[in-house]
Structures are given as structure tokens and as C-alpha cells.
A = this chain, B = another copy of it.
Amino acid sequence: MNLWKENLIKITPYTAGEQPDKTDFIKLNANENPYPPAPGVIKTITSFKAGSLNKYPDANAVPLLRAIADRFGVSAENVFAGNGSDDVLALCFRAFFNSGKPVLFPDITYSFYPVWCNMLGISFETPHLNDSFNIDPENYKRENGGVVICNPNAPTSIGRGLDFMREILEANPNSVVISDEAYVDFGGVSALPLLKEFPNLAVVQTFSKSRSMAGMRIGYCIAGDELISALRAAKDSYNSYPLDSVAIAAGCASLSDEEYFKQTVAKIIATRDRLTNALRERGFILPDSSTNFLFAQHEKFAARDICEYLKTRDIYVRYFSTPRIDNRLRITIGTDEEIDKLIGAVDEYIGSH
């Protein structure tokens, strides 16, 4: 009896950051931007002609593709947009990694990569980051079915330069190389200038972090024609309309305000650098961050204990029980006020232990 139950999927899904069931707390555990989207985004939504929602959206989000293409100086045929960069990355895995050979990505990186591989039946290997949490390009010079580099990497916060990505690309003429650049706007170096040389490079970025639009679900890939065509075929074999009409309009509005974008990113970088110094003064060890979060370990106190203490102060940071990083905290950069409260709570913790 109930044989249907045997056919249900068995899989370990991705676990996102904890969402406490309360509203009045400081949320530094999901790498969200503490500032609102550009004023034009808000105006676009509140003046949206919602009576037109009876019609399907543009299936390829063409107005948004054009806006993204304009900003980066590429053609709209070189842009693909999806329902957040998770959707875009999952479609990239499906569209690009069909060799049967293992795909390579670091052991410590965005933890959705192995989940997508398991879901899609893609084999993978995870070369270790070195002891300073850097990616060693030598590990990516062997036969493989694809390469995924999160740059800057999460949760390490470490960014690498163009020479690093060039070295990876030169070693992999027979694989597609994905540069996952979710955090690149906070001080990382994009691989975009390498697109003309490497038709097997796919650059994936998102509106969720630097554009303060995590709640709107917009991600995109910039790549050569052939990779974009494969992505469109994968999309049209799954869900014809991943981006709704409001998201398409709101995304365009965000791209039209470069000044707000720059100011917001600069504010977060300034707060980040201040927090970096404050934590180091208090005995934390952490690399320089190229992202909107820090990856910090205390020389004396256990990360898990600090994390639990901060929760009692209504401050939520991210703790991973994963081997090698189970004594580190990932702390999202909030507003200056939020970060002041965090520093105060850390002082309380240190003072009382």
C-alpha cells in the first residue's frame, strides 16, 4: 500500500538564514541591503498600471534585458534574466553542465551549488580552499565538466582580481566557467571584461544585494550568444515567464538611477570598513571583505556562543556548523545604527566573559 510515497523526491534542500518569527530585531544574517531600493523603483511600483496584469509578462523580460545591456555596454542578446540569481544559476547548471564529468567548485562557497548538482544529477568535486580561505587556481586545471567560481566568494568575503579569473579561464577552454558575482559591487572585480575573449564565460549577478531588491527576485546572466541561447532553451523548458511584469518594470527603474546605486554601495563599504576595524580591535580575526558581509572568528570566544548571545540582544548573524568554518560568523553590513548596536552587544559579551 501507499507505493506512491516511494516515488517522492528524496533530497536535502538548501537552508536559508533563520527568519525569527518577530519583527523588532536586527537582521544581519541574510546579506540583505539595509537601505531601500532607489526612489524610482518605489515610484514605478506605486504608479504601476496593475490593470494590465491580466496579460502575460514579456516572456524574455526584454525591456529589462535592454536596460541591463545598456548599463554594461553589451547587446541584449547577451543577457538573460530570471527569478533571482538562484533561478539563473540553477538554469546555468542545467544548460551548461551536461558532460557527465564532475563540475568543480570550492569546498567552502555558496552552499546551493552542491544542492543544484544533486537535484540535476550533475557530479561534482570540491577542491579545498587553502588555509587562508583563498581559492587555489591550480585546483581548477584538471579535466572537468564545468567550473563555478563565486567571486567575491561567500561566506569568506574574499574577492579575487581579473588575473585570477583569466588563469581559470585559460586553463578551461573545454568547459563553461560561471563567475557568480552576487557581491561584486561591494568592491569585487567583475569578469565582464573577459567576455570578449572567452565565449565559455558566464557572468551571473543579482539585484538582491547592491540594488536592495531581494524582495523582487531579479538575477541575470551576461554571456556569449551560445550560452544565452542555451539558457533560454532551458528556461522555456521549465517556466516561460519567470519574471512578472512588476519586477521587469522595477528592475528597469533601478538601473536608471546610477547615482543612488553608487551612494548606497559607498555607504555600505564605509560601514563595513568601520566594523572591520572595530571587530579587529576587539580580538576578531577576519579577512578584508569585498562584499556586504564579514567573515569573522574571535581569537578567544567560540563563534556559536557569540551568535547565541547576540540573539538574546535581538541581533541575528549567521553561524555555519560546517567543518572548517564552524568557528566563524558571517555578519551582514547593516546601517550604521545597527552596526553600533552590534558593536555594543559584542562589548557586553566580551566584558561579561
10 contacts between A and B (CB under 8 A): A8-B230, A27-B55, A46-B47, A53-B214, A53-B215, A53-B250, A57-B215, A57-B217, A216-B244, A217-B242
Q: Known contacts A3-B174, A53-B215; is A244 also within 8 Å of B241 by CB?
A: no
Answer whether residue A32 sits at the interface, using C-beta atoms and an 8 A cutoff.
yes
Contact of A238 among B58, B119, B243, B250 (CB under 8 A): B119
> Interface residues of A toward B: which range?
35 or more
Docked Cα-Cα span, A266 to B247, in Å, equals 31
Docked Cα-Cα span, A2 to B213, in Å, equals 37
**Are B42 and A45 closer than 8 Å at their CB atoms?**
no
Question: A276 contacts which chain B residues (CB < 8 A)?
Answer: none
Segment among A94-102, A298-306, A309-317 that sits at the interface with chain B: A94-102
Contact of A53 among B50, B212, B238 (CB under 8 A): B212
- List A29-64 residues whose CB lies under 8 Å from chain B: 30, 32-37, 41-42, 45-48, 50-59
Question: Which B residue's beta carbon lies closest to that of A240?
Answer: B16
Give the distance to chain B from A293, nearest Cβ to Cβ, in Å.
14
**Are A175 and B13 closer than 8 Å at their CB atoms?**
no
Docked Cα-Cα span, A173 to B87, in Å, equals 34
